[in-house]
Amino acid sequence: GEDVEQSLFLSVREGDSSVINCTYTDSSSTYLYWYKQEPGAGLQLLTYIFSNMDMKQDQRLTVLLNKKDKHLSLRIADTQTGDSAIYFCAERDSNTGKLIFGQGTTLQVKP
Amino acid sequence: DAGITQSPRHKVTETGTPVTLRCHQTENHRYMYWYRQDPGHGLRLIHYSYGVKDTDKGEVSDGYSVSRSKTEDFLLTLESATSSQTSVYFCAISWTAEVEAFFGQGTRLTVV
């Protein structure tokens, strides 16, 4: 089946940029997504990118998509302590239409 | 916040007992989903609904059933709970099939 991989942990200093990386296997995915989960809460959709795009920017968030390498990244500029959370990458399985999630990357922001 | 409520938020039940989790939305969204979240697995889709009385299986549907008799409610039932169903369950809703836009706060279920 399709698979999505993420590194499990990232630690940055407040004010630095954070880059969270993700690789996926379904080359026919139409949409790729980033979700944020704060402690004790559900997932919050941060942004998503259509597969015919290379980049999408939304305020402090920049998503880069490299279809050739099946690599997706989320850059958070000027990272704040409120950005501390688990970030999930997900792809839309082109066969089933279902969302396939990565394991999540825990972002720790140190003051 | 989107109008999506899960109940109960926490439940402890014994092996072999039936359990029903409820997801209620006030957004009138067509699509509703049940996911489970386990350490090392991210989220996995259990069942989803694309309209009243229209449901389909997800990735990990064995041992679960669902019902959607009205737009606002999507019920997840464990007919006979097992310890492997100890998990955090999330409901999601969306107006489109392309994006699971809003998630509930989750139900932590422990089967002892």
* pLDDT over 90 at A13, yes or no: yes
Closest CA to A105 of A91, A82, A89: A89
Tell me the three state secondary structure of residue B92. strand
Tell me the three state secondary structure of residue B18. coil
As a whole number of angstroms, the distance between CA A109 and CA B112 comes to: 36
Amino acid residing at B33: Y
**Tens-digit pLDDT profile for residues A78-95:** 999 999 999 999 998 877
Instruction: Test A97 with B104 for CB contact under 8 angstroms.
Output: no
Q: Give the B-side interface with A, CB within 8 Å.
A: 40-45, 48, 58-59, 90, 92, 97-106
pLDDT band at A40 (very low <50, low <70, confident <90, very high): confident
**Tens-digit pLDDT profile for residues B94-112:** 888 777 778 999 999 999 9
* pLDDT over 70 at B2, yes or no: no
Q: What residues of chain B lie within 8 A of the CB of A50, using their CB?
A: none
State the first-to-last Cα distance of chain B, in angstroms, to the nearest integer: 33
**Tens-digit pLDDT profile for residues B68-96:** 999 999 999 999 999 999 999 999 998 88
